[in-house]
Structure 1
Amino acid sequence: MNAPVLIVKKLPAAGMAIFPFILLKSAAFKNDQEIINHEKIHLRQQLELLVFPFYILYLLNYLINLIRYKKHNLAYRNIVFEKEAYTHETDLNYLKKGNWYGWIKIR
């Protein structure tokens, strides 16, 4: 999956996926295969849910987690979509293996 990469210097994170783009805080991250893979996993999650529902579920999951954990970092890291992306970001063949809807299987 080739996605257009945009550099957004004021991005609040190293990377972000907003279909169909990968946004990076710095051009240096273009060479970071793990960040790129992490964001590509998010792009596929967005496709799996036909894009817009992904953002709704992402936000709802974060808000529920924020109530549960009471800390932003814990809430963010426990979003099911982030769990899948962080778990598999080092596996550069993960998306090629066809693991569709992998975020459902993550606990």
Structure 2
Amino acid sequence: MLIIKPIVAPRFLKLLSKINGFGISGFFFFPFIFINRPEPSVMDNDHRVWRKTVRHESIHWQQCVETLIIGFLLIYGGHYLLLRLNGKDHEAAYRGVVFEREAYTNQWDEIYHKRRVWFAWLACFNDC
């Protein structure tokens, strides 16, 4: 799996945060990863959090490649809609989407991108 170089776009993410209703520090829209600020110094306490956000969005990049882009959009949207129809609020449905479950589960693992297998997100339908 690749770690993609993000585009720094704080105004864009601030706008998305207003629309979405909760803070967004990173956003993936194939083939781009948008992030709210430039990479901090390695000595900065925020560096680990910044790398976590890039890893999270890079996992989505790989999922998109695996599902040929349109599959990602259909599965993501369909799963989100199904969760909403089953009574989940916006944030619970978002975090329940299979792609988000894989990304959130592995975003702190600094070597996940090296050992991730193709279609790893499928395991998250059962348990992740």
TM-score w.r.t. length of structure 1: 0.88
In 2, Cα distance between equivalents of 1:18 and 1:65: 22
In 1, Cα distance between equivalents of 2:95 and 2:104: 8
Matched residue pairs, number? 107
Deviation at 1:2, TM superposition (A): 4.3
Identical columns (%): 32
Deviation at 1:56, TM superposition (A): 1.5
Amino acid across the alignment from 2:92: L
Higher Rg of the two aligned structures: 2
TM-score w.r.t. length of structure 2: 0.75
- Structure 1 moving runs of 4+ over 4 Å: 28-31
5 Å-filtered alignment, 1:4-19, equals: 4-8=5-9, 9-11=11-13, 12=16, 13-19=24-30
Q: Deviations over 1:8-66 (max 9, x none)?
A: 22322211111221111233579411000000100000011011220121111111111
> Structure 1: which 5+ runs fail to align?
none
In 2, Cα distance between equivalents of 1:94 and 1:5: 18
User: 1:2/1:84 Cα in 2 relative to 1: closer, same or farther (>3 Å)?
Assistant: closer
Higher relative contact order (CA 8 A, sep 6+): 2
Deviation at 1:7, TM superposition (A): 2.2
